[in-house]
Structure 1
Amino acid sequence: MATTRQFSSFNDLISHTSQPLLIDFYADWCGPCRMMVPILDQVKQHLKTAVEIVKIDSERYPQLASQYRIQSLPTLLLFYHGQEVQRWEGVQPPEVLIDAIRRL
C-alpha cells in the first residue's frame, strides 16, 4: 500500500527516508496507472518496511512532473539516499521492482 502523507517539498520527501523510496507518478484517468495499484501492493507486501512507496498525481503537481521529465504514465522513480537510481515507464511486473529494490 502506498503512503499518504504531506510533505513541504519534494526534496524534503526524498531526503528524509533511510530506505529506498519508490515514487509512482500517475493520473486518475490513466488505465495503466490503475493497473499498477495491485502491483505496488504486492511489492509493499513482499518487501514490507524495506521500501517506502509514494504515489504522486502528475496533474496535481505538474511542476514536479516537468522537473523529473515525466513524459508517460505511469512513471516509477526509485530513489536511494536522495538520488534517483532507476526509472521505469509503463506497467512493470512486481518482480522487476522487487529485484531492483533488493539490489540496493
Structure 2
Amino acid sequence: MTEKLHIVCPHCHTTNRIAAAQLGGEAHCGSCHQPLVTGRPVPLDDASFVRHVGRSQLPVVVDFWAPWCGPCRMMAPAFEQAAGTLKTQAQFAKLDTQAHPQAAAPFHIRSIPTMVVFREGRELGRISGALPASEIVRWVQSVI
C-alpha cells in the first residue's frame, strides 16, 4: 500500500492528499492544478501560515523574518537554495513578522531570522541567526 500524505498547495493553500512517491514527480494540486512541489519558499500570511503549519504532513521550515532585518535579507538566497535542495523532504516558507505579527506571536520569536520546523502543527526544532545554505540543509535534515 502506498503511503498518502497531506500536502498544502504553495499556490492556493488547499490541502491535497497525494502518494509520498509523487513528491519527486509531477504532483499537482487538485484545486488549482499548479505543481505541489516547487523547491521555492512559499510566502505566508496569517491564514496560509495556519494551513501550512497545521495541516501539512511534509515538514514545513518557516523562516521568520522582516524586511528591515539585514541578516534576514542576507540569508534569503541561502534559504531559497536550501529549499531547492530539500524540495521533496520539506516545504520551505517565509513569514514576514512585521506584516503578520499575529501569526508569529504564539511562537515567541525573540530574534530574527529564526527558522522553525513544523509537522502537523507541532514544532520539531528551531534555530536563530543567518546560516549558509549547507548549514540550513544540515540542520533541517537533523530535525526531520
TM over 0.5, yes or no?
A: yes
Q: Distance in 1 between matches of 2:70 and 2:104?
A: 18
Is 1:49 paired with 2:88?
yes
1:75 maps to what in 2? 114
Q: Deviations over 1:5-26 (max 9, x none)?
A: 6663643221221211001111
Residues 1-104 of structure 1 correspond to what in structure 2 (within 5 A)?
1-4=40-43, 8=47, 10-103=49-142, 104=144
Q: Distance in 1 between matches of 2:53 and 2:44?
A: 13
Q: Distance in 1 between matches of 2:93 and 2:59?
A: 11
Query: Which letter maps to 1:55?
Result: K
Query: Which letter maps to 1:39?
Result: A
The Cα RMSD (Å) is: 2.0
The DSSP-based 3-state class of the residue aligned with 1:54 is strand
TM value normalised by structure 1 = 0.84
Q: Distance in 2 between matches of 1:40 and 1:5?
A: 15
Displacement after TM superposition at 1:66 (Å): 2.1
Q: Distance in 2 between matches of 1:6 and 1:27?
A: 13
Q: Which structure is higher in RCO with an 8 Å CA cutoff and minimum separation 6? A: 1
Q: Deviations over 1:21-44 (max 9, x none)?
A: 001111101110011111111111
